[in-house]
Amino acid sequence: QVQLVESGGGLVQPGGSLRLSCAPSGSIFSTNAMGWYRQAPGKEREFVASIIRDGFTFYTDSVKGRFTISRDTAKNTVYLQMNSLKPEDTAVYYCNIDTLWGQGTQVTVSS
């Protein structure tokens, strides 16, 4: 089966930046919608950002102005540039392309 492979997570200090990437391991049926979700310990998984096929983007209020979602249609890759990171951004981040989900990548923001 086709899988989504995520990378780019890690440990960063408050105010720092990380760039997450997600790409399928093979051909996929559709890339109409791509997005990122995150789940912190003890919390429900929440929407972070999405980009639809026409290029329009959406963000949850807590990341607006700090995070940017983008895509490379030729590579079927979706990115999440995260700037001005805060401790409350600490979570496992999951990418989503239509019905497919990545395995999750840990982002930890701490001094």
Q: From CA 78, how far away is CA 70, in angstroms rounded?
A: 6
Distance CA 23, CA 41 (A): 25
Look at residue 68 and tell me whether its pLDDT is greater than 70.
Answer: yes
Pairing assessment for the beta strands 33-39 and 46-52 based on DSSP bridges: antiparallel
Give the least confident one: 16-20, 51-55, 67-71, 101-105.
51-55
| The pair of three-digit structure tokens given for residue 90, joined into one six-digit string | 């600490």
* Mean pLDDT score, 45-58: 94
58 contacts: CB under 8 Å, gap ≥ 6: 49, 50, 51
State residue 48's pLDDT score: 98
Measured CA to CA, the distance from residue 111 to residue 100 in angstroms comes to 34
For residue 76, the model assigns a pLDDT of: 85
- Across the range 96-111, mean pLDDT stands at 94
